[in-house]
Amino acid sequence: MASVSQLGYLGLNVSDLGEWERFATELLGLAVVDKTPQGFFMRMDEYHHRFIVQQNSDDDVAFIGWEVADQHALQQLERQLNADGVETIHGSAEEARARGVIELLKFKDPSGIPTEAYYGPLMNFREPFKSPRPLSGFETGAMGLGHIVIRVDDAQRSLHFYRDVLGMRISDFVELPPGHRLGRQLSLAFMHCNPRHHSLAFGELPVPKRLLHFMLQTKTLDDVCSTMYLAQDRGIPITGSLGRHTNDHMVSFYMRSPSGFEVEYGFGARTVDDSTWKVQQHYSGSMWGHRGLGSAPRPKAIESN
């Protein structure tokens, strides 16, 4: 069975290209590498790009790009998709060049989210990545750009698709009780396709957009904390305070992007070894922290005698 190997790139539809460029470079520390009439490409490591940002009023995910090893794996993945009743379209040579890949396969996930599989990404080892900010860099490589959390229409159908068709593995499930920062009771599935604890998580979420957040993992905790304070200084809403997750053990915070969905910025997640990993469940999303806006307790008044 062919399996996707990493979250290779993410396409974003944004309504304000200028605001997004400032947010991505001055706050997230990504580098703009190419501009087109439709938008721009952003880099974070030795890949030519990891994000494709394009002008569109949706302010949501435009497409998700999953990498496979080679042409044979892409062909086998297409057979798996077709056997499951998923229509596939071969990207043209021009489309593949636009994505910076050798070959491209286009399809939709069970919720209708545009999805792509590819092999042969364009690399740039000649010019090492240099962040516009004084950051140590990002944990990427074979683990991909980070992770995404998406809203799906049918969690069980999505679990079948990502596990049994795209070949991802379950890391764990998180059952969130009422009262967390997203509100009502939720069930989330976390999936991995390499040592990163999860490249994808999904659930039937009470949010208007398909993309709840994408996550960037830094190489130092200092980068996370300095970015959180910079976000506060810039007036960027902090939607989840500094905290540590129960499942991947990452220390992170959440901020709202110019498009309304969130960006998680984190450090120190544990990894998965498939030879020993066992599926787990959690009844809380965080060991501590990750408080939403307005969730901090009010200080008690000091009584005077």
- Least confident interval from 201-205, 213-217, 300-304: 300-304
pTM of the model: 0.93
What's the pLDDT score for residue 305?
34
Chain-centre distance of CA 171, in angstroms? Answer: 16
**Predicted confidence (pLDDT) at residue 125 exceeds the cutoff of 90:** yes
What's the pLDDT score for residue 177?
79
What's the pLDDT score for residue 292?
78
**Predicted confidence (pLDDT) at residue 62 exceeds the cutoff of 50:** yes
What's the pLDDT score for residue 295?
40
Question: Beta-carbon neighbour count of residue 53 at 10 Å?
Answer: 26
What's the pLDDT score for residue 182?
63
Give the tens place of pLDDT for each residue, 94-104. 999 999 999 99
Contact 8, 67 (CB under 8 A): yes
Distance from C-alpha of 160 to C-alpha of 8, rounded to nearest angstrom: 21
Task: Decide: residue 136, CB within 10 A, 0-12 exposed, 13-18 middle, 19+ buried.
Answer: middle
Instruction: Give percent of the chain with pLDDT exceeding 70.
Output: 94
Q: How far is CA 70 from CA 5, 96, 200, in A?
A: 11, 14, 22
Give the tens place of pLDDT for each residue, 16-49. 999 999 999 999 999 999 999 999 999 999 999 9
The conformational region for residue 289 under phi > 0 = left, psi -120 to 50 = alpha, else beta, is left
**Predicted confidence (pLDDT) at residue 137 exceeds the cutoff of 60:** yes
What's the pLDDT score for residue 185?
77
Average pLDDT, the chain: 94
**Predicted confidence (pLDDT) at residue 92 exceeds the cutoff of 80:** yes
What's the pLDDT score for residue 296?
40
* pLDDT band (50, 70, 90) for residue 236: very high
Going along the chain from its start, the domains and CATH numbers come out as 6-125+136-289 (3.10.180.10)
What's the pLDDT score for residue 21?
98
The conformational region for residue 85 under phi > 0 = left, psi -120 to 50 = alpha, else beta, is left
* pLDDT band (50, 70, 90) for residue 180: low
